[in-house]
Amino acid sequence: MDLSIIIVNWNTREFLSQCLRSVDKTVCTGTHLRVETIVVDNASADGSAQTVREQFAWSRLIENAENVGFARANNQALQQSRARYVLLLNSDTEVYPGAVEAMVSFMDEHPEAAGCGPRLLNADGSLQPSCHPVLTPGREFWRLMFLDRIWRRATYDQKHWDLSKPRRVEVIKGACLLLRRAALDQVGLLDAQYYMYTEEMDLCYRLLRAGWELWWVPWAEVTHYGEASTRQAAEEMYVQLYRSKAQFHRKYGGEREVRRFRRLLGLAYAPRWALVALGSLAAPSLAARARIYRSLLRARAAL
């Protein structure tokens, strides 16, 4: 088996159907690769599992009785998968012809690579950031204060990267991440302590520490519609994002690093909340964002 494609789903039936159709057309029947596809449904209430059973019977379905989180659900499929490469693919993606085959070919030609990712595109065809440096509390603050516009420190300037050349990177976005089985066998699966978010950064960081390389492959293109699951609980998921980041800093830097992270979050978000809350008096549409910022500030001490 060349490739195991793993898709975790939670209440994104229409996106999932579109994703599976693109996988079937561009990978399962459009390449020479020997492929298996595993869908893990995290107790969706929108009929996703039934749709997979009825319309995509060529895939293997794992149905969870509850939402076990993104990392744990991926691990369920990883433990059952059999191929030499594993593709973690979000349900709200659409794969372009040749993209997966190009990534597999790149990995075959670069045995030092533990993983690679494609050029991600937004729904309108514009570039979507698909990789970034490993985040530190300082880099996170730098990004939140928009200081990257002056000097790139927390993100990559992907808009100006040469599309004919691959690039070594530190973290690849989990929306579409191709991994070498041998590398996973060495460093282990996703850390299931992460319920949602940051699990791919943790894995990429462990791979880098073990001496492996990670690459961005721009001639492989995948559309990522983005936040199809998380927008269903936007406020809760925003706090969860920073809870997961704090978890990463605690794991690798201890409580001192987490305290620094909390302080910098306060410095970045307190003025944001004040400005947006004030602006919502004139523009009520900003009220939801103000609530999200307030929730994060209130939860900060417990991160």
Phi, psi of 126 (to 5 degrees): -75, 165
Query: Which of 253, 270, 265, 271 has the alpha carbon at shortest distance from 303?
Result: 265
Contacts 24+ apart (CB under 8 A), 64-67: 64/40, 66/42, 67/10, 67/42, 67/43
If asked whether residues 72 and 195 sit together in one domain, one would say yes
The enclosing domain of 15 has a CATH number of 3.90.550.10
Based on its alpha-carbon atoms, the radius of gyration of the chain, rounded to whole angstroms, reads: 19
pLDDT at 230 over 90: no
> pLDDT tens digits, residue range 91-102?
999 999 999 999
Q: How confident is the model at residue 186 (pLDDT cuts 50, 70, 90)?
A: very high
Each residue of 159-171: b (16+ CB within 10 Å) or e? eeeeeeebeebbb
Q: For 109-143, what is each residue's pLDDT tens digit?
A: 999 999 999 999 999 999 999 999 999 999 999 99
Six-digit token string for 161: 């990267």
168 and 295 housed in the same domain = no
Q: What is the mean pLDDT of residues 11-29?
A: 94
Both 278 and 189 in one domain: the answer is: no
Helix (H) or strand (E) holding 120: strand 113-121
Of the candidates 198, 228, 258, which is a domain's last residue?
A: 228
* 227 pLDDT higher than 90: no
Shared-domain flag, residues 241 and 208? no
Bridge-based pairing of strands 60-64 and 93-95 is: unpaired
Looking at 176, 199, 228, which one is the last position of a domain? Answer: 228
Q: What is the pTM of this model?
A: 0.94
Please check whether residues 146 and 162 belong to one and the same domain.
yes
Query: 253 with 278, same domain?
Result: yes
Task: Report the amino acid identity of residue 15.
Answer: F
What is the average per-residue pLDDT within 2-23?
97
Sequence-separated (6 or more) residues with CB below 8 Å from residue 151: none
51 and 175 in a single domain? The answer is yes
What are phi and psi for residue 12, nearest 5 degrees? -130, 50
Same domain, residue pair 151 and 290? no
Domain span at residue 247 reads 233-302
Q: Of 181, 201, 228, which residue constitutes the final position of a domain?
A: 228
Are 154 and 206 in the same domain? yes
Tell whether 178 and 37 lie within a shared domain: yes
* 282 and 213, same domain (yes or no): no
Residues 147 and 268 in one domain: no
Whole-angstrom Cα distance, residue 185 to residue 183? 5
How confident is the model at residue 113, as a pLDDT? 98
By the 8 A CB rule, do 182 and 116 touch?
A: no
Instruction: Give CA–CA dist 288/149, Å, rounded.
Output: 26
Q: For the chain, give the mean pLDDT.
A: 95
Given a cut of 60, whether residue 232 has pLDDT beyond it is: no
Question: For the residues 143-165, what does the mean pLDDT come to?
Answer: 93
Q: How many domains does the chain have?
A: 2
**Which DSSP string do the residues of 78-141 spell out, in sequence order?**
HHH--SSEEEEEETTEEEPTTHHHHHHHHHHH-TTEEEEEEEEE-TTS-B---EEPPP-HHHHH
